[in-house]
Amino acid sequence: MSSKTVQGKSRPRPQSPPPPSLLLTIIDTLGKLTGGAFLGALVISSSLVAGSLVGLATSFRNLPDVRGMKGYVPTETSYIYDMKGGLLSSIHDEANRRVMPMTRISPHLKRAVIAMEDSHFYNHNGINPTSIGRAFMANFSSGGVVEGGSTLTMQLIKNLFLTPERAISRKAAEAVLAIRLEQVLDKDELFELYLNQVYWGHNTYGAETAAQSYFNKSAEDLTLAEAAMMAGFIQAPESYSPFDGNYNVSEEGYKLAKERQAIVLGRMRALDWISAEELKEAKAQPIRLGRVTSFSVSKMPYVTEAVVQELTDRFGRDAVLKGGMRVQTTIDTKLQRTAEDTVKYWGERNYYSVGADQMALVAVDPRTHYVKAMVGGVDYEDNQFNRAINAVRQPGSSFKPFVFYLAMANKKYTPNTPISDTRVSYPDGDGWYTPRNYDNSFSGSMSLRNALAYSRNIPAVRLGQEVGLDKVVELARILGIESPMEPVISLPLGSTGITPLEMAGAYATFASGGWQSPTTFIAQVTDSRGRVILDNTPKPQLVLDPKAVSGLTSMMQTVIQSGTAKKAQIGRPAAGKTGTTTSERDVWFVGFVPQLSVSVWVGNDNYTPLSRSAGGGSTAAPVWADFMRRALKDSAVEQFPKP
């Protein structure tokens, strides 16, 4: 194989010559090959042909400008990984492709491709006169296009710029553009682009993706036998593939693939690029086939869809589908599996016990605000809606800690400060708003701690009026809650919709003592060359009063120790709050230990009420406790700082 690659010098790049001159160059080449007199007579004797050629030449002025191909990178598949580098999913548009530098592609594959597609590639300037002459005579004799004469460069032009129609005008355009492109890129650049652009069947584009699909290995590790078989697919990939329409290996397909392999090896031997012994060994080598990778299913669909949503919001859909991103998520696979198992187990139990058909669970690390696990529903295959990030549901009393925090941050309250749990009414539009406790009773004067522990509504509404509802909305925004929120009188009772992800992230700031980073599913994103394009390394900021947070955490521990969430006890210090909305349409428990903040929501997608026995403490808290015990079983017990 010749390797007359231009290195160390650059070809002159004159202004593009007028298109008719390029056309005449092609005609002159064809004339020499087919007999100058014959071609000359053909052109001169027919005014119709002459007119067509002038029209064709004029049309060349509208051909694409190939000068922009310098530095061109093909569209590429993006890959999503867990925190430790385990592949979760790949996402792509029409082309499933992973770009590979030519230096890392097996020399066997490079020789095999050139042998079959363009053995004079390194010796021509974009068009091969011999091939064109042979194709011209065949097409002239048949009266149509029956044979190509395409070089690798012309094939590349067709894939990048032109339609696949078989017409003489298009072949001429290929030739013109091929000559121009070879003035822009050197041979190695062209060949690398070809190897990464070519279609190999089953929605696999480029050598690396094809090698992974056909042989479950990288293109740099292909043997001569594998390379020859793969090179044999290029001309008609689906026809020559060993895989059938269901992407299973078929006996007939494998037999045809072996026949194509033999043709490629024979061609390589005829060119003296392999020895007779190498040919014999390659034919005898057993081939272990892989599986088609273009249509793989995500291992964690709720997670990967959330990641894609976050990426799309930041970079746009095209960049995600075509940009070849390498996305390291924040997800802990072991913790994610625990979350999935927990939701599946309790989802079935809650359906039969309280009539709940759905559930969501989100776990956030308070030290980083990284999402470690997230489940958006009981069964993804049955329903793909992600309730963890898209369901805006009323949090009920699990919203109260925001109001209680503000009361203590204002220095007017401590956990032991008394507050009145007595009848009260507030003007509301044309009428009055009168809050009621869940059991319609009143407890008189009670401590702030007990008001939260036993989830009394009237004290929460009183505090909301005292600290200012605008301040409550402002605090929610500081804690990362972006869902629409109005400063209505009932806001302290969780009357506005919030997602489980937002609740877990907000409580994570309580768990960290007031330190916050943006809650995210993504740790880092690089491009296919390893350049960092997004770095979400936590940069915590102190956004809350640590003393007030410490007092609030102490009160929320009481909720679990002796209040409404006794079923959330897990044998170690934990803090949290139950939430149950009117008619039991939404039940919550959101809680945390120093190293993990977790929200659990239970309800029905159609907002129908659960049974009267449902509640945050009886329905959601046990789910939370089950998950936390399993998630923390190998983690050391950590203490909250004392208030």
- Checking if the pLDDT of 422 tops 90, the result is yes
pLDDT tens digits along 370-388: 999 999 999 999 999 999 9
Strands 87-91 and 78-81: antiparallel
Please count the residues of the chain. 643
Helix, strand, or coil (residue 407): helix
Q: Tell me which amino acid residue 331 is.
A: I
Q: Is 528 a catalytic residue?
A: no
- pLDDT tens string 106-125: 999 999 999 999 999 999 99
Joined tokens for residue 287: 């081939």
Core vs surface per residue 462-499: b (16+ CB within 10 A) or e: bbbeebebebbbebbeebbbeeebeeebbbbbbbbebb
- How many CB atoms are closer than 10 A to CB 449? 22
Where is average pLDDT lowest: 146-155, 515-524, 581-590?
146-155
Three-class SS state of 51: helix
Domains for the chain: give ranges and CATH numbers: 16-62+126-181 (no CATH), 94-124+195-293 (1.10.3810.10), 336-631 (3.40.710.10)
Distance from the first to the final alpha carbon of the chain: 78
* Residue 126 · residue 171 · CB < 8 Å: no
More confident residue, 26 or 493: 493
> Which tokens belong to 255?
């037999």
Q: What token pair was written down for 624? A: 């939370």
Which of 59, 117, 443, 554 is catalytic? The answer is 117
Listed range (8-12, 173-177, 334-338, 462-466) with the worst mean pLDDT: 8-12
pLDDT at 97: 87
Active-site option among 78, 241, 397, 618: 397
User: What pLDDT, in 10s, does the model give residues 225-240?
Assistant: 999 999 999 999 989 9
- Residue 615 burial by CB count (10 A; 0-12/13-18/19+): exposed, middle or buried? buried
Spatial separation of the C-alpha atoms in residues 261 and 254, rounded to whole Å = 10
Nearest to 397 by CA among 452, 439, 358, 359: 452
What pLDDT, on the 0 to 100 scale, is given for residue 214? Answer: 93
Distance CA 96, CA 295 (A): 9
DSSP, res 258: H
Tokens of 601: 């929501």
Q: Residue 4: its pLDDT value, please?
A: 38
Token output for 438:
């869940």
Q: Are strands 358-365 and 596-603 parallel, antiparallel or unpaired?
A: antiparallel
117 among known catalytic residues: yes
Structural contact between residues 386 and 300, judged by C-beta atoms closer than 8 angstroms: no
pLDDT score, position 49: 40
What integer pLDDT is reported at residue 430 of this predicted model?
Answer: 87
Long-range contacts of 19-25 (CB under 8 A, 24+ apart): 19/57, 19/58, 19/60, 19/61, 19/63, 19/176, 20/54, 20/57, 20/60, 22/60, 22/176, 22/179, 23/53, 23/56, 23/57, 23/60, 23/172, 23/176, 25/179
393 Cβ partners below 8 Å, 6+ apart?
387, 497, 498, 499, 500, 586, 601, 603
**pLDDT (0 to 100) of residue 505:** 98
Is the pLDDT reported for residue 83 higher than 80?
yes
Phi and psi, residue 488, nearest 5°: -85, 160
Alpha carbon of 592 to those of 208, 480, 576: distances in Å? 45, 17, 6
pLDDT grade for 391, boundaries at 50, 70 and 90:
very high
Two structure tokens written together for 351: 């359906």
For 418, residues 6+ apart whose C-beta sits below 8 A from its C-beta are: 445, 446, 447, 448
| CB of 500 closer than 8 Å to CB of 387 | yes
Three-state DSSP class for residue 632: coil
Listing DSSP states for 293-337 in one string gives -TTPPPSSHHHHHHHHHHHHHHH-HHHHHHB--EEEE---HHHHH
What is the model's pLDDT at position 149?
63
Element of type H or E holding 374: strand 370-375
The CB density around residue 246, as the number of other CB atoms within 10 Å, is: 7
Phi first, then psi: what are they for 575, rounded to 5°? -135, 150
Q: What is the mean pLDDT of the chain?
A: 87
Among residues 244, 592, 543, 537, which one has the least CA distance to residue 405? 543
Band of residue 292 on the pLDDT scale cut at 50, 70, 90: confident
Residue 374, beta-bridge partner list: 362
**23 token code pair:** 């056309």
Does position 446 have pLDDT exceeding 80, yes or no? yes
Beta bridge partners of 329: 522
What's the whole-model pTM score? 0.77
Predicted local confidence at residue 1, as pLDDT: 47
Q: What is the mean pLDDT of residues 571-576?
A: 98
Question: 36 pLDDT exceeds 60?
Answer: no
CB-based contact 495:488 (threshold 8 Å): yes
Rounding to the nearest 10 degrees, give the CA dihedral for residues 44, 48, 51, 55: -130
> Pairing state of beta strands 522-526 and 326-329?
antiparallel
Going from the C-alpha of 5 to that of each of 149, 317, 358, the distances in angstroms are 22, 38, 63
Q: In Å, how far from its chain's centre is CA 115?
A: 38
pLDDT score, position 140: 56
